Amino acid sequence: MWECPDYFELDNKGVLLFCPQGLQSKGNRFLNAFQACYAIGNKLDFRNLYFESKEYEEIDSGFDFYAPQTMSTPDGRRILSAWMSIMNSNSPLTKYHYDGCLIFPRELSIRNGKLIQKPVSEITKLYTTDYMENKVISKNQEIVAGLINCRDIKFDVSTKDNNAISIIDLFANRENTSHLRLVLDKMKNRFIVQRIKAGIEFEDEFGTERSCNLKAEKSISIRIIQDISSAEIFINNGENVFTIRVFVPKDQYHIFVKNLNGEVNVQYKIHQLREMNS
């Protein structure tokens, strides 16, 4: 069964979103219990009810993303929303009689045959305190960015060393023994997310790591919409996206960066986000 179908047209192409049931995993793809996919092709032939596409891809490579749907704004943007959950029975939220939340709205476009996602521009209305700096980093360093995990984080990581392994730890405690770990591995051309040390353990039967293949460019951009119990990670301006739930104590608000095998230049802009009124 293909759940949650959504068809729309974008950049003169037809786009179909759907949630197939029970795809077999392939390497680092389709690892969740339930997947969300997209297909790009020619515009739908409404007369014959025919849509043709050569392949389909995951919309989101993270742990917690399902049931995507889109809408069109008055100014013509195509906006994506989705459920930040995969409906697993051992979610730590079920004891509170609910499960999941919604992603931050994303604007869609197509680039080089791929669906590109980025947070809607209206997020700037939530900005409060700003933190920005350019650092050369090798050993573990803390990035000071407020005391609450509500942030729009933008990292540009660059190095000439093709053996570099850059590590960003979010939701970290003061000792950095507990964290959500992001790894840029230029040796293996991979971006990796590791949740094994990120607070309450859940959904472990589907693994604690997600990754995507990543071309080893000189500079790689990472944007993270961080909320109290979630991170939405956008690689290279939305070419790859990871949606993740984490459940940590309030004092795990630290951010650490380090690099293995030499030095890395890290330029960052972090905007603290105001808390929403309940």
pLDDT 10s digits, 64-82 = 999 999 999 999 999 999 9
- Nearest-angstrom CA–CA distance, 119 and 107: 6
Domain spanning 2-121 has what CATH number?
A: 2.115.10.20
- Nearest-angstrom CA–CA distance, 251 and 253: 6
Q: What is the pLDDT of residue 95?
A: 83
8 versus 92: which is more confidently predicted?
8
Q: What is the pLDDT of residue 190?
A: 93
The β-bridge partners of 209 are 194
Asked if pLDDT for residue 88 goes beyond 70, the answer is no
248 versus 87: which is more confidently predicted?
248
Cα-flanking dihedrals φ and ψ of residue 82, to 5°?
-165, 165
CATH 2.60.120.560 domain residues, the chain = 128-273
Question: Which residue bears the tokens 């230029």?
Answer: 186
Please tell me the total number of residues recorded for the chain in this structure. 278
Q: What is the pLDDT of residue 277?
A: 66
Antiparallel, parallel or unpaired: β 78-83 and 66-72: antiparallel
pLDDT-above-90 percentage for the chain: 74
Asked if pLDDT for residue 278 goes beyond 60, the answer is no
Average pLDDT over residues 179-207: 90
The mean pLDDT of the chain is 92
Asked if pLDDT for residue 217 goes beyond 80, the answer is no
Question: Which residue bears the tokens 């650490």?
Answer: 256
- Nearest-angstrom CA–CA distance, 84 and 227: 12
Average pLDDT over residues 120-137: 95
- Of the candidates 149, 34, 23, which has an alpha carbon nearest to the alpha carbon of residue 100? 34
Average pLDDT over residues 99-120: 95
Q: What is the pLDDT of residue 89?
A: 64
Q: How confident is the model at residue 109 (pLDDT cuts 50, 70, 90)?
A: very high
Cβ proximity of 91 and 85 under 8 Å:
yes
CATH 2.115.10.20 domain residues, the chain = 2-121
Indicate the DSSP class of residue 198: S
pLDDT 10s digits, 24-54 = 898 899 888 889 999 999 999 999 999 999 8
- CATH class, domain 128-273, is mainly beta
